Structure 1
């Protein structure tokens, strides 16, 4: 099955729909995913195609970020992202505004039957480059995809955060205290840290020549001082 996802802002899911079906025998998604239980087989794969905000430069990503940190993954979970509920009557803040209780129940049942699956990684912060956090804090980061109830969900541009001591630089959007952070863009906002603190994009869609962590920290300070 292939599903198109419309992503707006900083990876806030706005809408999704089933656009076609296919089956392939791929393996589970990434080392940050955890297998779920329930129906389905390991050969079941749902491919997500998501449209994310794109940025012209690394500086633009940094300036839009609420938090920029270096850290390592210390745990992860896979879960469905269910619709938010609100008592408000404004459709801008409550997508279910104006719906009857029966319609709301139907929408929630459909979302549970055909979920948008995310991997939520817990990242321990070892350095804060920008934003409100402290060394030793943990932050949760949500990414599309994972293995849930025997089905593997994959988003083509997403590299799931891995454990095992890999160091990352993450450029994150704050979605409120009750919600995990999101990467501003799955490629342009995710970097690994290598020998000597060298910062490298996880994929070809990221920005080259990010330098080292210390240079990137200087860069974020200069941008914040503007």
Structure 2
């Protein structure tokens, strides 16, 4: 008999901590209908020592702009075609759906991967609110539509892509602009979107990645 193996599409593990936003602190069974429930999600993810290792691991690296945002509940567990034993021996996995914020990104440039400028890609981040259920991730980034970003991504077939690492996988890209004296600034400015990002990404790095992978 063919056995199915269930694998998580997430590149990191997620620890969910339930917090009830009502007067009965710590007693979930006292939560009434309509009362807000906050679920804190602590993520464990690989860290990268260099831009080279980050770019080697990501299957897609793009520059893009967010054109729309939505919040959706997604079950990360999918069946594979592997003949290995089930990760959850004894039956189908329980519903482990989590709430994500999903960004539709218009691609302006591609450095690695199978996308082209003008394409769109969906990228998800753990966190968001649906009804009274609020997922809060300590490393969730605010990704606005007013800036271009460099995304280092892991992509999948049936679910939106993930940032390879929520701390090191996203950069704000500021193009050259006119200064007050009317002169063009010398260099593009690229900064980590997360304040704890210790990796410095330069335009030369992106050009190198593009020449190697795209």
Q: State the match for 1:184 in structure 2.
A: 164
Partner Cα separation in structure 1 for residue 173 and residue 161 of structure 2: 20
What secondary structure, in the 3-state scheme, does the structure 2 residue paired with 1:12 have? coil
Q: State the match for 1:11 in structure 2.
A: 10
Q: State the match for 2:40 in structure 1.
A: 47
Name segments (4+ residues, structure 1) moved above 3 Å: 8-14, 16-24, 38-41, 83-92, 94-98, 221-225
Say whether 1:149 aligns with 2:131.
yes
Name which of 164, 188, 191 aligns with 1:200: 191
What secondary structure, in the 3-state scheme, does the structure 1 residue paired with 2:159 have? coil
What secondary structure, in the 3-state scheme, does the structure 1 residue paired with 2:207 have? helix
**Structure richer in helix, relative to its length:** 1
Q: State the match for 1:169 in structure 2.
A: 150
| Change over 3 Å in CA distance of 1:152–1:9 after alignment to 2 | closer
Partner Cα separation in structure 2 for residue 204 and residue 87 of structure 1: 37
Say whether 1:59 aligns with 2:57.
no
Native 8 Å contact 2:69 2:104 kept in 1: yes
What secondary structure, in the 3-state scheme, does the structure 2 residue paired with 1:59 have? helix
Unaligned runs of 5+ in 2: 1-6, 23-32, 177-187
Partner Cα separation in structure 2 for residue 89 and residue 133 of structure 1: 28
Say whether 1:216 aligns with 2:194.
no
Name which of 80, 85, 108 aligns with 1:126: 108
TM-score (norm 2): 0.73
Show the 5 A alignment for 1:9-158: 11-12=10-11, 18-19=16-17, 21=19, 23=21, 39-41=34-36, 44-82=37-75, 84-86=77-79, 90=83, 95=87, 98-99=90-91, 104=92, 107-108=94-95, 111=96, 115-158=97-140
Relative CO higher for 1 or 2, CA cutoff 8 Å, sep ≥ 6?
1
Q: How far did residue 91 of structure 1 move?
A: 5.4
Partner Cα separation in structure 2 for residue 125 and residue 160 of structure 1: 18
State how many pairs are aligned: 187
Native 8 Å contact 2:18 2:38 kept in 1: no
Native 8 Å contact 1:66 1:131 kept in 2: yes
Unaligned runs of 5+ in 1: 1-7, 25-37
Partner Cα separation in structure 2 for residue 9 and residue 199 of structure 1: 32
Q: How far did residue 195 of structure 1 move?
A: 4.3
TM-score (norm 1): 0.70
When the two chains are superposed, the root-mean-square deviation of aligned CA atoms in Å is 3.1
